[in-house]
Chains A and B, each alone.
Chain A
């Protein structure tokens, strides 16, 4: 009593998720080490503990208990970094990242974080090519999954950040116009999600984003029916979790693919009516989500495809 019980926490979490020691420890530490940690015979290093807990769905940014004093500053800075990235303020983000770099200790997890973050900034600021972008992201994921590329990651207990990296990597393939490869990676990520050990909210967030990208790329390679199916799945996730940030995009993907099927004569022209009412829904949801860029994009799309008169009927 009154003692840290990290081993117990790891063990209880692992059992509640019915993962074997082998599967949990793979690529992080040896099975023997994990076993000793769980029995309380050995304390895990901070890095090991975090990796194990993350793989079981405990997110890094919220774990305080294993941190030393200087880390609280880093934690706050990492959050600030994310905020700048989300606001497209890459130069500011880079300044923050430089500060983080000075204080971060040298662990695989931290190296992965830095490499990924630097790469994203360098790409967005046009300092590296799409090929280099891809190459460096793959290097980052290899730091925690050395078998990456040799094995399928479907069924692997990936953590939030690793799935995030897979999303980045697949986008990089898509930037290089390799949609097939991009889809392969995301399908792997998707199947991980379905049986993942992640926190519900985090999982829903990733699932919605994955569905959005997948439906876009399936559409771009002409697999419209599949794209529609994936978009519908994503919309269901949004509905279940009341998520709104990728919802307008998802409904738009649904419509775009239906429009292609109408053009190809697979769907009858009467189905245009349905598309228009979806577009209307998309437009108002984008307004409600305060996404002026998508709002504008919807107006343009309706005008181009259905004409000004239709657009004026929908938009006030």
Chain B
């Protein structure tokens, strides 16, 4: 037992990490794999204070917690690098590419000796940059693969369901799969995506996991549609819709509705007897149309409108 005073002096985030780790029954070595040594994690848990904020953030995120990043700032250097990361992401959002490239360079200098997570951040941003500059997809995949290899080495051969991964790490993996699909590497993309799905289902009790499910479901559903496996497509699409239920945002809603419409349309056409029931899937097409239309995703909205007009002499969209 330590005294109350002593406790106050200690690094409280260390307590949080230990608390959740033990609550979920995760071993130290599993949690810190690819991030830091077991000895370092032990020191963090007992209250070591000179710890990199990004490391703390990732450890908590691997257990499904989204800490307020600002609260994890412990040192001056941390504060600077925290601010720079926020600014880089902000500039990416604004698509100010020269400024991003410049800031990434100085970020590299600031954090040069600080380990894998910073390298991962830099490489991930380079991949985004490449994409925004319309560089080749192969190059993006290469950069993303490099980024994930910093903290999840051998992520392709490993069973990722045995690991604990942060949302950032999972997002990189999903992005790799999505881009592989675009360059015709469907089988390898599928292998990863199924592993991610398995991971998400296994860890569905962790808060932030559910945010990722619809994103993966959309990609997997598209694959099944391409393969004409409409029953599986319907199944994964429904799961995606279910997991997206409590989402207050319009994110993924247009995509999921459109996929549902396409799958149901295909299934109804496959029916032997009688007229296919159009009402049901037309309703989903219209949901997708109105979401895209409201969100200003005009190309997608126009496509649906055109399709409905041509296939179903549809004139009833205003």
Report which A residues bind B (CB closer than 8 A): 1-5, 8-9, 12-13, 58-59, 62-69, 72, 79, 86, 205, 239, 241-245, 247, 277, 280-281, 284-285, 287-290, 313, 316
Contacts and interface: CB of A to CB of B under 8 A. Distances in A.
Contact of A284 (B13, B278, B286): B286
Contacts of B282: 316
A68 B318 contact: no
Given A72-B19, A288-B287, A290-B241, A65 B248 contact: no
Contacts of B7: 68
Given A68-B12, A245-B248, A4 B71 contact: no
A285 B294 contact: yes
Contacts of A288: 250, 253-254, 257, 287-288, 290-291
14 contacts: A2-B50, A2-B75, A3-B74, A64-B71, A65-B12, A65-B72, A68-B12, A69-B19, A72-B19, A239-B294, A285-B294, A288-B288, A290-B245, A313-B316
Nearest to A314: B316
A1 B72 contact: no
Interface string B279-318: 1101100111111011110000000000000000000101
B49 interface: yes
Contacts of A243: 248-250
B71 A289 contact: no
A244 B286 CA distance: 16
Interface in B1-54: 7, 12-13, 15-16, 19-20, 49-50
Interface string B229-256: 0000000000001001111111101100
B71 A65 contact: yes
Contact of A287 (B19, B49, B244, B287): B287
Interface residues of B, number: 52
B107 to A, nearest CB: 19
A63 B72 CA distance: 9
B3 to A, nearest CB: 13
Interface stretch (B62-70, B166-174, B216-224): B62-70
Nearest to A289: B253
For the complex of A and B, the 8 pairs showing the least CB-CB separation, nearest first, are A62-B68, A2-B50, A277-B318, A245-B248, A284-B290, A288-B287, A244-B250, A316-B279
Contact of A4 (B49, B70, B245, B246): B49
Contacts of A2: 49-50, 74-75
Contacts of A281: 290, 293-294, 318
Given A62-B68, A64-B72, A68-B12, 19 more contacts: A2-B50, A3-B49, A4-B49, A5-B75, A5-B76, A8-B79, A58-B68, A62-B66, A62-B67, A64-B13, A65-B12, A68-B7, A69-B15, A79-B207, A239-B295, A285-B294, A290-B245, A316-B278, A316-B279
Contacts of A241: 249
A147 B253 CA distance: 44
B55 interface: no
A123 B289 CA distance: 40
A66 B12 contact: yes
A242 B66 contact: no
Contacts of A242: 249-251, 295
B144 interface: no
A315 to B, nearest CB: 8
Nearest to A280: B318
B73 interface: yes
A66 B249 CA distance: 31
A275 B74 CA distance: 55
B50 A1 contact: yes
Contacts of B290: 281, 284-285, 288
Given A64-B60, A68-B12, A288-B257, A4 B74 contact: yes
Contacts of A290: 241, 244-245
Most buried by B among A68, A205, A277: A68
Contacts of B295: 239, 242
A128 B79 CA distance: 49
A188 B75 CA distance: 38
